[in-house]
Every structure is written in C-alpha cells, then in structure tokens.
Structure 1
C-alpha cells in the first residue's frame, strides 16, 4: 500500500510540473552543471578596476526591496515571452552584490525623508522645509546657460543644445503619471531622463555625479497595486540599461540600491510560467483562491463579516487590481528588511572616486523624487 501512495505522489508531482513551464534543456542535469561552471569561470576572471572612478552614478529604487526585485525579474522575463525567473534584470548582471540595512534614528522602519538625507548628505535628517522659497526661480537667476523644461520634446532638445549647461525639468505639478499611464508624447520616461542627463554631464572631462530615483515604485506599493509598482521597477531597470550603454565601467562607478522595502510578499508556490499577478497554486483554508502577491497591511484589506472575497486571474491581472492586505490602513507601510545593492565596478581600494565627483560640495544630480519627478542636473565646475 505504501508503494501505491508513493506512486500516486510521484504522478501528482509530474502532473503539477507539467502544468508549469519548464524548458526541455533544464530537465538535463548537464544544463545546470554548465550554468554553474560558467558562473564560476566568470567569477574567477573578475578583477577590480585598478584606478579610481571618474564618474559616479547612483540609482535608487524607492521602496525596492528584495521581494520587489524578485517579482520584477519574473514580470520582465514574462513580458519578453519567457517563463520569468531565469531572465536577469540589468541590475542582476552587475558583478558585485550586497545587502544594505535600513532604519531611522528613531524608528525601526525607515521613511523616505531620513533615508534620502542619509544617501545624499551622509546624515539621517529630521526636519520639514518651511521657507516657502521658489527654488526654480532662484536656480534660474543663479546659473548662466540654465534652461527650465516641462515636457519631453523640450527636454530632448535642451540635452542636445551645446549652449545649455544647466537643465531643470518639472513635468507635472505633483507626481508624474505611472509608467503604464504616461503620455508618451508629453512626458519623458525615466530612461529618457537618464539619457538626457548623461548627454549633458558627460561633456565635462573632469567627471560627474548623477543620482537617479525611481520614485513611483514606492507609490504603487503604498496603494497595494502591485502592477503599478512592478512596471515602475521595470522602467527603473530600463534606465539602468540606458546608463550602462552610455558609460564605461573603466571610469564610471554605478551603484543600484534602495532606501527601504515594503510589506510586500510574493509566495504561495505559484507554478513557473504563471503570471506574477496570478493565483497561488491551491486554495486557502477558507476554500478560496489567493494571489501570489499579498501585502501585510494597506488599503487592500477586504475582510467583511469575517470573510474575504474570492479572486480569479481575470481580476488580479488587471493594472488597477488592489492586492489583498492583512491589516486595514489607508496607505501601506514600509518594511524593515534589507535592500539589495548592486555595483557595476569596484576599484582595488574599494569604493573610491577621483575628480570633481569625489567632492560632496560639487555633487549634482538627476533626481526623480517620489513626490514629483524632477530632472535637475548641471555640469560640474572644475
């Protein structure tokens, strides 16, 4: 009888695997041995850069924790017609990987203000700006060759204009639209803003510092709308790709990191190849389906009369679907987890810089702030 149960279990396992998408070559152990050998060989050949970097680029995915990166990787792979997890993001292909701790001075779980000042100033801040100054007007009055732009066309023209040495772009009065809702004729993408910044900054032979933030990853999570968060993260990865194409690791240190995570979970044993926004394999204890993506808290809380609503993939796969959350809040909270940090180049002395970009007083940047994506850059003074 025991043998019969084993046979039934094996048959069940075979059936479950057949429902997923498994490339034929992966069924051969030699495939995985080759993958391991190639990875080891690449690691053996990896050598640190012997000279300090001239340029520094920091990409910060707002709220981009490890689980967000995992789900984004699968989604981007599926959008290219593949099962998903085997397709690396651009940031995954950076040779150095670390984890960063996140917290505020007075909180276990950080907010975006303290983490922003920690990254940009080296100190965690505790303040709110109240001076009511018009910084755009002040900036325009201070700089020669300064230009302010408010749409995609003007941005592209200004970035190619040799007379423009300082450039600021404000493309919406508040937050920019999510990537899936962006007006392609009026609003630049994050990748296009990154390209425009590099066109301008790369004119300086002494080096530059560029800071790029994917600010609306965070907003999608706060709304419990994972589709928005993950498509923003894909565009963030596209911006990293654009910067990698336009710079060289021989003179440019590129860092990809995040300021904090979210209470965003991705689990439930979904079959490989199934939609990242789809259902977990099997039913919950209440006999209802549940999505692979869930939130610990937020506006997605839907318990009514002690029961939660059922869900199907025709609903969960839509761009506006709000994933279920365990605790009712008007806005989902950040998480206290580690965040990933990827480096494209390291010098033999660690993270070292040379030239103007090594001096904090001369830092200048492209910032896509979470409250309003702002393009702000200038050529570094010598």
Structure 2
C-alpha cells in the first residue's frame, strides 16, 4: 500500500505531493496553460478556510436558469467580449462551493416556481402553484390556507432585527418574490380581481395586499413581534396595486386602465401612508434620485407588468433600472443596518425568455444576472456575507450537434475543420441551441422583446434556416413538440455559494436545504420564537 502511494505521488506535481517530482511528465504537458490553471485552482481549494456565521445573506435566484443556460450564457458572454467563449466563467461560477439541488415539488416531477421558491425560503417542500404554505394545502381552496402557513427566511430575518429586501425583474407579486412574504392557495391571486369571490369572503387576501401589509400581518402572527417591514422592494407589477381606473395610471402606463384592482384601493398610496418617510418610485429618474444614506424604506414598481427584458430595457417609456443597478442600490440601503440584512434577488425574465423560445433573451438576461451577482460581490465582505446563487428549475433547452470550438453559440452548427453549416438528414442546417417543446422558430430579426412571438402562430418543427441570421435578437429557436409555451424541465439545478456556511453547499441535496444554509449562517430559527 505504501509503495502504491509513493508511486501515485510521484506522478503528481510537486506543489501537491510535496517532495514528489514531476519529471516523469513531459515539459510541454506541465507548461500547458490547462495544466497550470488546474494546479492554481487546486491550490486555492487547499488554502480555503471555513467560517459559519454571517452578518448578511443574499439569495440570488435565476428563474429557469438550468445548467444548459449557464453554459450557453457563459459562452455568449465570452463571445460578446471577443473571445472564443467556452473558457470563461460567469461571475458566480468562480465561487468555491457548488452543489446540485433536486427541484421536484411534493406533487410534481417537473416543478413550478411557487413550490420551488417556497422550498428554498421556508425549508420544506410543497405543492405546485401554492405560496408560503405546506403540502396539506389544496390549491385554489382558501379555507386550506389557515393553519398550513410556513415562516420564511425573510420573515425570520425581520424578527431578528435585520434589514430585508426583495428584488425581481418580474412582477413583485409573481411566484418567486411572493413566496418570501405571502401565504396563498394559488400563485395567481396577485390582486383581488384574480380571486374567486368565495376566497375573498372567507378572508383570504391577495398577494399585493399581503405585501403592503407585511408588517401588520407578521406582527399579528407572532406574539410580541415588533418589526419595521420590508425595507427595499424593487420590481414590476404596478397593475396589481392600482385600482382599475384611468385616473390612477402612471405616466408610462401602456394600458388604457393600468390598474387591475376591482376594490378601488390604491395600494401604493396605502404604502406611502404607512411609511411616510419612505419613497415610492416608478421610473429611472425616481430610482436615480434615491439617497441610499438617508432612505429608510423604498418601494419601486417600474412597470405595469413584468419589467423589460435586459435587451429591451432601453425601449421602456420612463426608463427602468437594470438588475445590477437595483442590486447595488438595495445593498447600499440595507447595509446601513449594523445588525445585517437579508436580500433576495430574482432574475425573473430568464424564465420568460425560455418560455417564449428565445435563447437570445434568456441568455442576455442571464448575463445581466451575473453582473448583478458581481455587483453584490463588489459591495460586500466575503468574510461576513453569504451569497447563494441558484435557480428554481430548468427548461427544456439543449446544446447539441458537434459545433467547433468558438462557433457562435447562437449560430448554426459548423463542424470541426469545416467552414459551412452542417446539414441534417433532411438536408437543412440546424442550430446549436434548441428546445424540446414550445412555440417554435420565428425570424423576428432585430426585435428585442421575446414576447413578440406570442403574436405569431405556433411554428414548431424543422424549417429552412438558409439565409436566416440565427444570432439576431429576434430569432427564436426551433422546437420539436408544438405547445403554446415552452415548459420547465425536471433535472437538478446548480447551487453556487461563497461566504460563511458556503462550505455546506456540497453534493446533491433537496432544494429546501437552501433555507437551512441561510439559517446556518444567520441563526434565524435559534434567535426567534414563533
């Protein structure tokens, strides 16, 4: 056994095996950049130290950001910078710890965002389509909510005295952000007009109402609690907070009546009345004017519905901040609390780009998401801040064929040693990226809004791509199975972690373990009595 160990060690580099010699390896091998890079990475791992307790936690959720999305976005980011692409890393892919999360819901093999985010933020799995409640819920049945509510990391952080924030490029009442603060038998109950009359009569509240009344609701659930409410809220979805009356339209409203609420309530005004020192903003100018040193709370709703795709953001009427801008500003506000903070940041439109069959929009939003993570890295101390980056689920998005190294990731497959696109058995070229199901191919050329495809007929199956620029912003990939919208997929998603307790992100874990990583770092449960 000793002889075997010595023999093995002699084949490894001196920096790893101490006195072992690397002479048995050819010089060209040991001087290769691949070889040296691997040595450097291993040396960094050997030098790691581990801490467990954090002052702050930031949970980043790339909605629909499966592993194939990470790979393709990494390549696209590199190619946009003039590189071949494959050799690069997204900002969070350099984090020291990685795990895989199993995403299934209690009642579903392929999950939705409501059940998955509830798992991540509460520590238990639950059913498809429900928010902030356990598996004993019956979707759409108001009476089953009561007694089945769960507590979330954001609520526990509030109870501990930390500052809190939620950010999303989707509607702030959408499933992922809503799971941090709401309890609902149906993720679609975003405002009262979405709810059945029976549910309203039984006392269930719509999700927008629950956000505005978060402080009151939490204090009523926890005896003796005294919290100050969510400090930072940035996202879309104004329509769910405004009455269905044109008199309440925002300056950048796109609908004749921007609001959807049928109860006549203006929840933005109610929020301002509850937090007179806080700021309500709805456009880029208002966002830019926020003084992060003096602002105690801020409520930003930057679109009637979801915020724009990153590629389409410049087309917004009143202007919208980017995800990285919102993340930086939120941290600058939240870190005024010397006790620390908890922040959840979602890139919701990665998911929407995939549903529309637009790899371009899904990937460009993923790249912006990586920039937002980098902004958090730059603004925090890794010794006191745990950053977790993950996804709620993946999509049926594939990277296939045998393209040569550096081939445009959005392009047609060109094989190694070739200059012209490869042809399938039907005699037609095909792209590296594609979808198993969905609406199918569209050539919308310079269109930057992926949702424009919903105005077109479903166009699944093979198509002649000769003369089509598949790298353009308006190209939507081919799909095999025709559906009105591309679907989620059921495979595991990645967890990347840096900071105190990050070393616990290892192996293949249930998705609800993410809550327990957060709790390990902040000691939320131990410091709170519910």
TM over 0.5: yes
Matched, 1:298 2:438: yes
Q: Per-residue displacement from partner, 1:148-183 (whole Å, max 9, x unpaired)?
A: 110122112224351x21111100000111111112
Shift of 1:108: 0.5
Whole-angstrom CA distance in 2 between matches of 1:36 and 1:349: 20
Task: Describe the shift of the 1:179–1:122 C-alpha distance in structure 2 as closer, same or farther (beyond 3 A).
Answer: same
Report 1:305-316 matches (<5 A).
308-312=462-466, 314-316=468-470
User: What is the aligned partner in structure 2 of residue 23 from structure 1?
Assistant: none
Whole-angstrom CA distance in 1 between matches of 2:76 and 2:39: 27
Matched, 1:317 2:471: yes
Contact 1:57–1:209, Cα closer than 8 Å, also in 2: yes
Greater CA drift, 165-174 or 338-347: 338-347
Task: Describe the shift of the 1:200–1:358 C-alpha distance in structure 2 as closer, same or farther (beyond 3 A).
Answer: farther
Contact 1:280–1:290, Cα closer than 8 Å, also in 2: yes
Contact 2:279–2:298, Cα closer than 8 Å, also in 1: yes
Matched, 1:108 2:276: no
User: What is the aligned partner in structure 2 of residue 33 from structure 1?
Assistant: 35
Task: Describe the shift of the 1:279–1:212 C-alpha distance in structure 2 as closer, same or farther (beyond 3 A).
Answer: same
User: What is the aligned partner in structure 1 of residue 492 from structure 2?
Assistant: 338
Shift of 1:138: 3.9
Q: 2:284 aligns with which of 146, 152, 162?
A: 152
Whole-angstrom CA distance in 1 between matches of 2:270 and 2:459: 56
Q: Which runs of 5+ in 2 are unaligned?
A: 1-27, 131-138, 140-184, 190-194, 196-204, 210-240, 242-266, 415-421, 443-456, 505-516
Whole-angstrom CA distance in 2 between matches of 1:231 and 1:65: 14
Whole-angstrom CA distance in 2 between matches of 1:306 and 1:234: 27
Shift of 1:57: 0.1
Q: Per-residue displacement from partner, 1:4-33 (whole Å, max 9, x unpaired)?
A: xxxxxxxxxxxxxxxxxxxxxx99972222
Shift of 1:238: 0.4
Q: 2:297 aligns with which of 142, 166, 178?
A: 166
Q: Residue 32 of structure 2: SS of its match in structure 1? A: helix
Matched, 1:353 2:484: no
Greater CA drift, 140-149 or 90-99: 140-149
Shift of 1:223: 0.5
Shift of 1:87: 1.1
Task: Describe the shift of the 1:307–1:237 C-alpha distance in structure 2 as closer, same or farther (beyond 3 A).
Answer: closer
Q: 1:252 aligns with which of 372, 385, 390?
A: 385
Report 1:89-238 matches (<5 A).
89-123=90-124, 124=126, 125=130, 126=139, 127-128=185-186, 129=189, 130=195, 131-132=205-206, 133=209, 134=241, 135-160=267-292, 162=294, 164-183=295-314, 186-238=319-371
Task: Describe the shift of the 1:207–1:306 C-alpha distance in structure 2 as closer, same or farther (beyond 3 A).
Answer: closer
Whole-angstrom CA distance in 2 between matches of 1:161 and 1:306: 52
Shift of 1:104: 1.5
Whole-angstrom CA distance in 1 between matches of 2:320 and 2:458: 40
Contact 1:208–1:356, Cα closer than 8 Å, also in 2: no
Contact 1:279–1:312, Cα closer than 8 Å, also in 2: no
The count of aligned residue pairs is 335
Higher alpha-carbon Rg? 2
User: What is the aligned partner in structure 2 of residue 11 from structure 1?
Assistant: none
Whole-angstrom CA distance in 1 between matches of 2:358 and 2:495: 24
Superposition TM-score, scaled by structure 1 size: 0.81
User: What is the aligned partner in structure 1 of residue 222 from structure 2?
Assistant: none
Whole-angstrom CA distance in 1 between matches of 2:460 and 2:498: 50
Q: Per-residue displacement from partner, 1:217-275 (whole Å, max 9, x unpaired)?
A: 00000000110000000000000010100001110000000000000001211111111
Whole-angstrom CA distance in 2 between matches of 1:306 and 1:236: 29
